[in-house]
Structure 1
Amino acid sequence: MFEVLVFVYENYWHGESCPEPADLQPKLSAVGFDAEEIQDALTWLHDLSLAAREQSVATAPAGAGHSTQEASRTDALAQSPHSLRVYTAAEQNHLGAPCLGFVTFLENAGALPGPLREIVLERAMAAPAYPLALEDFKVIVLMVFWRLGLEPDALILDELCDDGASRVAH
């Protein structure tokens, strides 16, 4: 599944340019991806789109064509800068220390605000790998930024695209 996601990211740099799943599936098959792998990736991308849509509604400014109930939901989702995210045992087991450490790094760098973190974690928990490899987790983070139309800082992007194994200590 992750190879398909990387292919989509590399070939459709802007999320809006990505074709609909019905049009994307034959293109992925023509490239040589397995049908099951394609279906898993398309399902994962569909669920990412749903999460992104919910995020855009939740973070829209109050009075921007939304009801009072939606505005109060936005206020309820606002995160205090002093809040602390506690990971469940299932999240700790599925993601492992490297992925959770990377989330902390992104948060401390200011690259992953709370609402984006929650989308990343939800999509990571939906990934089939157990425990999730850090390289696969980085793909998930890239795909969340991609789908939301956000471009991370160049240094963060470099960190997301770096495999770490090829680094040479100075």
Structure 2
Amino acid sequence: MFDILVYLFENYYTPEACPSAEVLAKRLAAAGFEHNDIDDALGWLVGLAETTEQCVELAHTPGNGSRVYAESEQQHLGATAIGFITFLEATEALSPALREIVIDRAMATTDGPVSLQKIKIIALMVLWSQEAEVDHLILEELLRDDGDRLLH
């Protein structure tokens, strides 16, 4: 699933540039992705759209408080992912609303704790979906994998 998310980021400048889900599924299959991964990625993207819609009100709320993670979030996300989310928020790459969307989408993944590489992809996709302005250095950090190589 994460390979498909990276593929979408690399091949579609904005979310609006993506074709409909049906056409996208066919293009992803033609690109060699497995049908199960395609279904998972498309489902994840639908969840991203739904969560974004629910967080519209939160986006207009000033954020100067601290986020306390529930026990289930701590276990599923892990210290590394929570630390990276905190870093993104401290650098103002993530607003409180976007932070909540990142957390929701990370919690929607099947395996935990979420690796650093996966939380970076999740954050990248959330920022991409919002067409958010991202500082060049933050973008570089999001594109680097655990081995210090750029994605794809």
Q: TM-score by structure 2 length?
A: 0.91
The structure having more radius of gyration, on CA atoms, is 1
Change (3 A) 1:18 1:103: same
Q: Distance in 2 between matches of 1:40 and 1:121?
A: 18
Matching residue of 2:102:
120
Matching residue of 2:121:
139
Note the residue ranges of structure 2 that are not aligned, 5 or more in a row: none
Report how many residues are paired: 149
Q: Report the RMSD for the aligned CA atoms in angstroms.
A: 1.6
Q: TM-score by structure 1 length?
A: 0.82
Q: Distance in 2 between matches of 1:94 and 1:129?
A: 8
| Equivalent position to 1:157, from 134, 139, 144 | 139
Change (3 A) 1:111 1:88: same
Matching residue of 2:37:
37
List aligned pairs for 1:81-120, cutoff 5 A.
81=64, 83-120=65-102
Change (3 A) 1:19 1:30: same
Change (3 A) 1:130 1:59: closer
The one-letter code sitting in structure 1 at the alignment partner of 2:3 is E
Matching residue of 2:3:
3
Shift of 1:164: 4.0
The answer to whether structure 1 residue 13 and structure 2 residue 13 are counterparts is yes
Note the residue ranges of structure 1 that are not aligned, 5 or more in a row: 61-73
Query: SS where residue 146 of structure 1 aligns?
Result: helix
